[in-house]
Structure 1
Amino acid sequence: MNYFEIPGLHQPIAQLMMGTDYYKPELLDTVGKLLDEYVELGGNAVDSAYIYGGGNSEETIGLWLESRGNRDKIIVLTKGAHHNANGPRVNKQAIDEEFAVSLKRLRTDYVDLYALHRDDPNVPVGPIIEALNEHIAAGRMRAIGVSNWSHQRIQEANDYAAARGLVGFSFSSPNLSLAKPNEPFWAGCISADADACAWHREKQLPLLSWSSQARGFFTGLFTPEVRDNADLVRVFYSDDNWERYRRAEQLGKERGVSTIQIALAYVLNQPFPTSALIGPKNSAELQSCHDATSIKLTDAELTWLDLSGER
């Protein structure tokens, strides 16, 4: 397992983070064993959110942490302030209310990483940064970041924080994958494009990628002719992405690894700190992801894979 630093954390974070959106307490025996295997492989970070499973994800993580007695060894990321049926909720009241519930579900008095789940560009960054800094000062959050924010908004927020001696965002969690989306998988979600990646490279701000393996696009279960997954077709089916698939398959055969492992290695070998949020359902899938962390790709291979050198 490979690791990198996020300012505010007391330990390095693994490049593979366990995604837990499908977790629920009745699955604790199954997912608990999978989490144990992940830890045995060197993993130390789990990702959740206030809205995942109506709270089931956070509840399950809390039960696992309590039963294993390993809270101090596990980096917990949770997210909040996602919009609801009434619209955006990026405000102090929503953050405070949801975060209090998240802590209770997680059976802890702090989280290592806290991210705003969505953005509301109509809300000034100042009050948001100030609200989050209250939790940092109280020891309830160790580091703050965002999911699905543009890099321009992150920079604005960090400029505000720096000018006032406050803690800014120390990580971002958009989508980043070898397959480039035609449109957002969910409305309002952000994928890191070339400009965003250039900004991350300049700032060396860690990027924690969701859907890092393009929701199974590289598994071999899909072809241009297989179109029964409407969302995958809508988001990832394109001539360029099928060419990226072909190149990942070719490089995988040359390296003796699978196509999807090359796709994961693409995320993990960016010229800035990255972590991939993974959602393995069994030991074999977890081991496949772990093995991909040892694949090293050159800058030339990265640009060849994603076609960026041909634009």
Structure 2
Amino acid sequence: MLISKGCHPSLPLRSPRLSPADVTHDLHASLRVLGTDFIDLYLLHYDHPTAQIEPVVERLNRHIDEGKISAIGASNWSHERIARANTIAAGRGLHPFSASSVQFSLADWTRSLWPGAVTLGGAGQRAAREWYAAHGLPVFAWSSLARGFFSPHYEPTKPDRNRVSRRCTTYFGTEANIQRLERAKTFAREHRLTVAQVALAYVLCQPLDVFAVVGCKTVEKFAENVGALSLTLDEATLHWLATGHGR
């Protein structure tokens, strides 16, 4: 399955790029660079609140009709804007957004990793999680291991130990998250798992149609992460990992 994105804001000022012309330009650039004439899933990378959704949905559907895209979706869009896009599509007889990519992990971020990024984590996003569950929209959860927070490279007591520790301390280094890490370690020891497998299973066992997106530097690490697919965590365990209560 080939997935690509388009309409990332212009750098370094992050000026909005979410027009029909931007869609076409970036899609054709992806096709050219990837050496293909077809993309299975094409995601709009970032939203902008002033952008008109209808012409963008229409342009994406034109490219579906041309056979250049099979399905469309959004990355770092709020569920409200996705719902709006799909309402427009339904009213026009067009293909809706069929997937979304947002951040989600056992650790809740303290602030956005990038301007405009969207997360499903935390109590404040409960309505978003309920919306995804109710509508069955697939979620590609990026940074599902919280930028290395659940790896051996992060040591809460040594925030300056290395690049991973500094990054994790900045974006995830709260006491609540550190306690989640400790509970994941406890569960991993009890069940002969790795901490990363427990953290990934937490994401995969949510009542959502969710796929955990990870980056692996070695085949061994990839195989370790795949092992999380065979794990089943019940509701009580999920609640305990997140809150420390109810196990």
TM-score, length-scaled by structure 2: 0.92
Q: Any idea what the Cα deviations from partners look like across 1:186-238, whole Å, max 9, x if unmatched?
A: 11111113222111111111000111111110113222222124332121000
Residue identity matched to 1:289? N
Question: Displacement of 1:239 after TM fit?
Answer: 0.8
What residue in structure 2 maps to residue 267 of structure 1? 203
Question: Displacement of 1:240 after TM fit?
Answer: 0.7
Question: Displacement of 1:289 after TM fit?
Answer: 0.7
What residue in structure 1 maps to residue 138 of structure 2? 206
Question: Displacement of 1:258 after TM fit?
Answer: 1.0
What residue in structure 2 maps to residue 14 of structure 1? none
Partner Cα distance (1:120, 1:255) in 2: 44
Is this contact kept in 2: 1:185–1:231, CA < 8 A?
Answer: no
Q: Any idea what the Cα deviations from partners look like across 1:223-269, whole Å, max 9, x if unmatched?
A: 22221243321210001101111111111112110111100111111
Is this contact kept in 1: 2:140–2:211, CA < 8 A?
Answer: yes
What residue in structure 1 maps to residue 32 of structure 2? 104
Q: Compute the RMSD of aligned alpha carbons.
A: 1.4
Is this contact kept in 1: 2:79–2:128, CA < 8 A?
Answer: yes
2:158 counterpart of 1:222: no
Q: Does the C-alpha gap of structure 1 residues 253 and 91 become closer, same or farther in structure 2, counting only changes over 3 Å?
A: same
Q: Does the C-alpha gap of structure 1 residues 109 and 169 become closer, same or farther in structure 2, counting only changes over 3 Å?
A: same
Question: Displacement of 1:308 after TM fit?
Answer: 8.8
Is this contact kept in 1: 2:154–2:168, CA < 8 A?
Answer: no
Partner Cα distance (2:199, 2:109) in 1: 14
What residue in structure 2 maps to residue 68 of structure 1? none
Question: Displacement of 1:309 after TM fit?
Answer: 6.6
Is this contact kept in 2: 1:148–1:188, CA < 8 A?
Answer: yes
Q: 3-state SS of the aligned residue for 2:212?
A: strand
- One of 62, 79, 83 as aligned partner of 2:9: 83
Q: Does the C-alpha gap of structure 1 residues 174 and 309 become closer, same or farther in structure 2, counting only changes over 3 Å?
A: farther
Q: What is the correspondence of 1:42-121 to structure 2 with a 5 Å cutoff?
A: 75-85=1-11, 87-121=15-49
Number of equivalenced pairs: 236
Higher relative contact order by CA 8 Å / sep ≥ 6: 1 or 2?
1
2:64 counterpart of 1:153: no
TM-score, length-scaled by structure 1: 0.73
Partner Cα distance (1:137, 1:144) in 2: 12
Identity of matched residues, %: 38
2:120 counterpart of 1:184: no
Residue identity matched to 2:196? I
Is this contact kept in 2: 1:171–1:207, CA < 8 A?
Answer: yes
Is this contact kept in 2: 1:268–1:275, CA < 8 A?
Answer: yes
Partner Cα distance (1:308, 1:274) in 2: 23
Q: 3-state SS of the aligned residue for 2:140?
A: strand
2:71 counterpart of 1:130: no
Residue identity matched to 2:76? N
Question: Displacement of 1:174 after TM fit?
Answer: 0.3
Residue identity matched to 1:150? S
Question: Displacement of 1:307 after TM fit?
Answer: 1.8
Partner Cα distance (2:174, 2:32) in 1: 44
Residue identity matched to 1:125? I
Partner Cα distance (2:112, 2:37) in 1: 34
2:121 counterpart of 1:195: no
Q: Any idea what the Cα deviations from partners look like across 1:134-185, whole Å, max 9, x if unmatched?
A: 1111111111000000001101111111111111101100001111001111
Q: Any idea what the Cα deviations from partners look like across 1:33-71, whole Å, max 9, x if unmatched?
A: xxxxxxxxxxxxxxxxxxxxxxxxxxxxxxxxxxxxxxx
2:172 counterpart of 1:236: yes
- One of 247, 250, 253 as aligned partner of 2:186: 250
Residue identity matched to 2:30? S
Partner Cα distance (2:29, 2:54) in 1: 24
Between 84-93 and 135-144, report the one with greater CA deviation.
Answer: 84-93
Partner Cα distance (1:224, 1:309) in 2: 22
